[in-house]
Structure 1
Amino acid sequence: MLLRLFFLLVLCPSTLIGQQMNSPLDGRKYFCPGQIWTDLNGNPINAHGGGIIYVDGTYYWYGEHKLLGKSEREGADGGVHCYSSTDLYNWQDEGIILSVDYQNPQSDIALGCILERPKVIYNKRTKLYVMYFKLYLPGRGYDTGYVGVATGTNPSGPFQYSHKFLGAGSSKGSGDFCMFQDEDGNVYHLTVRKPDKAFCIGRLQDDCLYPEGTYKVLSDIPLHTEAPAMVRKDGIYYMIGSGSSGWAPNAARSFSTQNLWKGYKDLGNPCIGVNTYNQLGAEKTFGAQISFILPVKQRPGFYIAMFDIWNPERASDGLYVWLPLRIENGKLIVEWKDQWSF
């Protein structure tokens, strides 16, 4: 504990200085990967496995709201938490915008469900914000993985649970996924299929509420690839994923293609360096797992790779690792930095 306090004070002093440093007038001006990150109220940000959208000058960060002190075995998921920011460094708490259902034990999202990795897109046709999350029904463990769907009219919520569907063309559904919205507005569900761990892609209907048709196995991507995150640059799609080892970290993997449906090229592990605080390097993805790739609107062509350091014994204590993502000579590079800004 003393060593962590030393790193916080020396390398990331705004974490502990308090409200004045975290105020809108004199806020944080850099990222401190792998360290406690507080919102503008001074509370640790609780938005794990998340994703971000940008609306009218504001970023909205959606993530799993982990119940304080709960382990994953005890049912740690409380819903989806939202934070907003105009600069990506300082975040305003918008509250829990989709809560688990504490009143109806028959609900798909009743307390005790597993609700993970939320992502939100905007559908211009329906004028709805659509949220997707990995959903395991209460009391059923990780046997069948659904995609839960919720909708809202405002990016800061509230969202209302709508329905669930089984993705990847399997009766057991899918695991960790991303919902990638292409430049033409089409949304694609990229996911690991249960139980055979094949990697699949499917397109959603125009209203973005259900899959349009059958899924295709992407045979160029190795089995057991999960937690995908994708970005498009200059007509090339780039993806980072992880292996499948439960809550334990493993080596990241990356790919590129000119066609979402085929022709993926293996680019290897994009990570470089060592996490100063846990001494884990590229072979363990700094102790983290990819969650999202964020294009930074203030700097076109600049991207942030968002990772989570999971803590299954005390889920709310999980940490965030945000690092710059470079694309050089067709390769992805994510290099460890103790402190950085863009």
Structure 2
Amino acid sequence: MSSHMIQPGKPWLDTNGNRIHAHGGSILTVDGIYYWYGENKEHSTPGSGIWHWGVRCYSSLDLINWEDRGLIIPPDPDDEESPLHPSAGVDRPHIIFNERTGKFVCWLKVMSKGSVQRSTVLTSDNILGPYETVRTWLRPLGMSAGDFDLVTDPHDGKGYYYFERVHSEMIVADLTDDYTDVTGYYSTHFPQPQPPFVREAPAYFTRSRKHYLLTSGTTGYYPNPSEAAVSASYHGPYTVIGDVHPTDPSRTSFHSQISSVFRHPTKRDLYIALGDRWLPRYLEDGARALTEFETHFAPGRDSDEAMEEFAAVDSSIADYVWLPIRFEGNRPVIEWRDEWSPDEFEDLP
């Protein structure tokens, strides 16, 4: 089974004909092969008690047809205290390669009981694993760390960790040389008093010596307008330059939340926003999202209550919205396409 086009918002099947499960995901290129990895939500149905079933990975040569390579980080169903237990709120895996150590380093956000969100860090010699856990229940900088992105400088290999200090602000922290912890040096950005105004889901990319962050508001699984910010350096300051989806009348980022931005290695100026459509059945006016959020995710609710609300969502049927980014000067703009292909874009010389 093969396809020739990416169809945003439509169910995406792998080469075996099964629904792809790589949510909150990213793409890493290794030896000319694309690897798309993310949360495996195949069993995450309402009432199942299963938040995740590990981290799944797929490989491709064209970004359209994906072969299932299995669970690169399996769940730990036998240990209820493990951060990898299926009931633990494992979200948004990010993997970067460390040239110094030769290791692939994976960070996981874990929403656990109580109001604290913490991190687990694993390493492997191979993108497909096996991965060894090196840190659990990490609170970077002593903070509750939510959605995040990992970044490496292509010139000196320095690593950066962009994360939402839960319900507060965005943090940019320097990583240690082995990428498994933070050094203690950090900067703060976009302070807000409470959700839904707090920015989350940071997706970093760089273009023409400028540093970009795409973020969303905090409205649970309900979609909201994405926002772009730009800076001359990793640590900012970042200047907000507005909604990335200006042609979307629903103000919901085309009913999606961006998880990462992938720069195509062989196409000229092709950046792809990888997004999740967590609620594929929710396609009414986006204004309803804030009303639902104010009812179900009001400030002051702890993460146990929030996770109960999240668990009521059938994330096993979540879809994907992948769209190319074009630029108006320095401003990134994402427009809707019913279908598209990377082949439409010019090859690098």
Q: Quickly name the TM-score band, shorter chain normalised.
A: 0.7 to 0.9
Residue of structure 2 in register with 1:288 after alignment:
256
1:79 aligns with 2:79: no
Find the counterpart in structure 2 of residue 101 from structure 1: 76
Note the aligned Cα RMSD (angstroms): 2.0
Q: For the residues of structure 1 that align with 2:47 and 2:250, how far apart are their CA atoms? A: 26
User: Could you tell me the percent identity over the aligned residues?
Assistant: 33
Task: Indicate yes or no: 2:212 matched with 1:212.
Answer: no
- Look up the match of 1:49: 24
Cα 1:271/1:332, change in 2 over 3 Å: same
**Are 1:91 and 2:66 matched, yes or no?**
yes
Output the amino acid matched with 1:218. H
CA distance in 1, matches of 2:250, 2:151: 25
Match of residue 203, structure 2, among 229, 241, 251: 229
Residue 174 of structure 1 deviates from its aligned partner by 1.2
Q: Counterpart of 1:145?
A: 117
One-letter code aligned to 2:56: H
Structure 1 position 198 matched with structure 2 position 169:
yes
Q: Is the 8 A contact 1:33 1:338 kept in 2?
A: yes
Cα displacement (A) at 1:314: 1.2
Aligned to 2:265: 297
- The corresponding residue for 1:264 is 238
Cα deviation code 1:53-90 (max 9, x no counterpart): 10111011110001435238833211100001111011
2:141 corresponding residue in structure 1: 169
Moved more, 36-45 or 184-193: 184-193
Stretch deviating more after TM superposition (157-166 or 207-216): 157-166
Q: Secondary structure at the match of 2:141?
A: coil
- Do the aligned residues in 2 keep the contact of 1:98 with 1:161 (CA within 8 Å)? no
CA shift for structure 1 position 240: 0.7
Matched residue type, 2:278: W
**Unaligned regions of 5+ residues in structure 2, if any?**
280-309, 343-349
Structure 1 counterpart of 2:329, one-letter code: N
Q: Do the aligned residues in 1 keep the contact of 2:191 with 2:198 (CA within 8 Å)?
A: no
> Which residue of 110, 113, 120 corresponds with 2:88?
113
CA distance in 2: counterparts of 1:136 and 1:83, whole angstroms: 25
Alpha carbons of structure 1 residues 72 and 99: separation in structure 2 relative to 1, 3 Å: farther
Find the aligned partners of 1:162 and 1:263 in 2 and give their Cα distance.
32
Do the aligned partners of 2:44 and 2:50 also contact (CA within 8 Å) in 1? no
CA deviations on 1:237-291 (whole Å, 9 max, x unpaired) are 11111011111111110011001212211110011444xxxxxx45111111010
Distance in 2, matches of 1:55 and 1:30, equals 23
1:300–1:165 CA distance, 2 compared to 1 (3 A): farther
Query: Where does residue 180 of structure 1 map in the other structure?
Result: 151
Separation in 2 of the partners of 1:71 and 1:204? 37
| Amino acid corresponding to residue 285 of structure 1 in structure 2 | S
Contact 1:68 1:314 in 2 (8 A): no
Q: How many Å separate the matches in 1 of 2:87 and 2:242?
A: 37
Runs ≥4 in structure 1, deviation > 6 angstroms? Answer: none
Distance, in Å, in 1 between the alignment partners of 2:187 and 2:51 is 33
**Comparing 90-99 and 161-170, the one that deviates more:** 161-170
In 2, the alpha carbon distance for the partners of 1:316 and 1:111 equals 14
Against the structure 1 CA distance between its residues 324 and 176, is the aligned structure 2 distance closer, same or farther, given a 3 Å change threshold? same
Counting matched residue pairs gives 306
State the TM-score, normalizing by the size of structure 2.
0.83
